[in-house]
Amino acid sequence: MGRTPIYTRVYNQLRYQILSGELPIGSHLPPERKLAARLGVSRNTVVRAYAELEVEGFIAGKMGSGRYVEALPPAPALSRIHWSSQHNYTHLHAAPPHMAELLAITDTYPDTINFAHGDGGKHTLVTSGFPAYVKSAADQINSYFFTSVQGFPLLREQLVRWMGFEQVSSPEQVCVTSGSQEGLYLITSMLARPGDCIVTEMPTYFGSLQLFQSLGIQVIPVPLDQEGMKTDILEGILGRYRPRFIYTVPTFHNPTGYTLSLVRRKHLLSLSEHYGIPVVEDDAYRHLHLDTPPPPALKALDQAGHVIYLNTLSKLLFPGLRIGWIAANQHFIQLVRRLKELSISTNMLGQIALANYLKADALTPHLARSRNLYRQQAEVMEAHLQPLTALGLQYEKAAGGFYFWVSLPEGVEARKLMQTCRQKGVSFTCGDMFLLRHAEQPYIRLCFTHEPPSQIERGMSIISEILTRQKEEA
């Protein structure tokens, strides 16, 4: 305080009391002489402090009735701020807006033959029988009111039954989310902070990459082959970088369709345990095998509680439902619930409809029917891909999931092909969306489940024609 004039100290003290509300608006200030005596200063000191406060509009004096605290003075005029430019500090711009672009396809090109979206198609709605459950839920009063943040208890019970993992035996180990995308957002926000790193297969589901990059999280890529993530390479990475978690789509991976072998599943889990790094298993395609069922989920093999399991009804039923779930140990789920609380809960109408659908065991026959249809759809698409191998195109036979991951013949550019096909009424996704960087690369992803067989015929004929022409011109 050394050189601060005494009146400034008195002024500061009073100003603080006024701004903090200790001296409320309208309250009376002591007369100068009285305050001077209380503070042990001269009357002049108090007079000066009061004068300053008066000039600044903090206090006012009424003739005969002393001084009192005024309404706060107007804030000094600041230069105009463009509030919208204040958001540049976020990491959002690190990731291209792939999700928005992809979802806009239906509105922008309503008549397009759509091999871009990853879902089971509109033609399965009626056979699923699901609309009747929605209609019945719409008649229930509870559908319009709150349920618990963690999700409708009856739905969580049914999800436990549906998963059938001995590791997840209680609804308390489940949190319902608005799609698995929200689930991944919650998990990532729990486990990692901007600047941290995580590890995942590359290529991988673009929605996860967009999420990680938007949150400022570094993604360390691990290559994969027909047996899934190369766990020998993962081992070196875990030791060096200590990522916050391993994100993996081990079963009918998006976009490649590859499935992690049982040997690698066990290796992955032993690495997770050895380094104490959790695994986030995104199991969206598990039930969508076309031939033999896949190996057990990582969660079903998890002896140490290191696997955080994520799944969704978007691929089993319909993506507009926006219902997914996280299953993990109870302590983790309690923490997730604290975060989920911030968006209150997932829509109740959908949760009730789904709970009753699962309770009636309607999902299993629906999936059996869907798999038969998907098999046919994959065959129709493959019948068009196969002849193109003569030009140098490559693909793997689909064993499950929704996609063909197609390597284009040399000289055919993925983005150019995509744009020309889009103009001719067919949409698909370009492989660079599934990579960290927009590198020139030869892949496209074709979803074989969204369109019925007749539309697949038409769409693939258009693609084949354009691709053949572009190859000839290359």
Task: By CB under 6 A, tell whether 449 contacts ligand PLP.
Answer: no
Beta carbon nearer to ligand PLP, 243 or 324:
324
Q: Whose Cβ is closer to ligand PLP: residue 350's or residue 409's?
A: 350
Shortest distance in whole angstroms from residue 254 CB to ligand PLP = 4
Give the residue from 384, 395, 401 showing the smallest Cα distance to 443: 395
3-state class of 209 per DSSP? helix
- With CB under 6 A as the contact rule, which of the stretches 179-187, 213-221, 300-308, 375-383 interacts with ligand PLP? 179-187
* Of the residues 7, 11, 58, 205, which one makes contact with ligand PLP according to CB under 6 A: 205
Q: How many residues does the chain have?
A: 474
What's the min distance (Å) between Cβ of 27 and ligand PLP? Answer: 56
Q: Which segments within 230-382 are labelled E, that is strand?
A: 246-248, 279-282, 307-312, 324-327
Nearer to ligand PLP, 182 or 196 (CB): 182
Give the residue, chosen from 121, 179, 250, 459, that forms a contact with ligand PLP under the rule CB under 6 A. 179
251 binds ligand PLP (CB under 6 A): no
Q: What is the DSSP letter of 215?
A: T
> CB-wise, 147 or 180, nearer to ligand PLP?
180
Question: And the tokens for 421?
Answer: 């096909």
What's the min distance (Å) between Cβ of 152 and ligand PLP?
17
Interface with ligand PLP includes 207 (CB under 6 A)? Answer: yes
Per the CB < 8 A criterion, the answer to whether 212 and 188 are in contact is yes
Q: How far is the CB of 177 from ligand PLP (least distance, A)?
A: 8
How many whole angstroms separate alpha carbon 428 and alpha carbon 463? Answer: 10
Comparing CB distances to ligand PLP, the nearer of 47 and 95 is 95
* Pure H helices in 87-174: 98-103, 105-108, 125-128, 130-138, 153-163
CA torsion sign for 429, 262, 271, 336 is positive
Among 45, 158, 248, 254, binds ligand PLP (CB under 6 A): 254
Residue 199 CB, shortest distance to ligand PLP, in Å, is 16
Report the residue number, 229 or 467, with the smaller CB distance to ligand PLP: 229
**Candidates 176-184, 326-334, 387-395, 448-456; binding stretch for ligand PLP (CB under 6 A):** 176-184
Strands 218-225, 197-202: pairing kind: parallel
Residue 448 backbone dihedrals phi, psi, to 5 degrees: -95, 0
Kindly tell me which of 45 and 429 has the beta carbon lying closer to ligand PLP: 429
- Of 7 and 130, CB closest to ligand PLP: 130
Closest residue to ligand PLP in the complex (CB)? 179
Cα distance from N-terminal residue to C-terminal residue, the chain: 80
Are 91 and 194 in contact, with CB atoms under 8 Å apart?
yes
**The pair of three-digit structure tokens given for residue 246, joined into one six-digit string:** 């391993």
278 to 337, contacts with ligand PLP by CB under 6 A? 282, 284, 312, 314, 319, 324
One of 234, 249, 317, 446 touching ligand PLP (CB under 6 A): 249
Tell me how far CA of residue 443 lies from CA of 14, 152, 167, 282, 318, in angstroms.
70, 41, 38, 23, 27
User: What is the C-alpha separation between 251 and 229, in angstroms, rounded?
Assistant: 11
Q: Which stretch binds ligand PLP (CB under 6 A): 5-13, 36-44, 53-61, 173-181?
A: 173-181
Number of residues that bind ligand PLP (CB under 6 A): 14
CB of 184 to ligand PLP, least distance (A): 7
CB of 280 to ligand PLP, least distance (A): 10
**Surface-to-core class of residue 387, CB atoms within 10 Å of its CB (0-12 exposed, 13-18 middle, 19+ buried):** exposed
Q: For ligand PLP, which is the closer residue by CB, 120 or 324?
A: 324
Return the residue of 118, 171, 294, 431 that touches ligand PLP, per CB under 6 A. 118
Cα distances (angstroms) measured from residue 422 to each of 99, 112, 212, 463: 17, 8, 29, 10
**Dihedral of the alpha carbons of 83, 87, 89, 91, in degrees to the nearest 10:** 180
Minimum CB–partner distance for residue 180 and ligand PLP (Å) = 4
Identify the three-state secondary structure at position 102. helix
CA–CA gap between residue 163 and residue 281 (Å, rounded) = 13
For 346, the 3-state DSSP assignment is coil
**Of residues 200 and 356, the one with the C-beta less far from ligand PLP:** 200
Contacting positions for ligand PLP (CB under 6 A): 118, 179-181, 205, 207, 249, 254, 282, 284, 312, 314, 319, 324
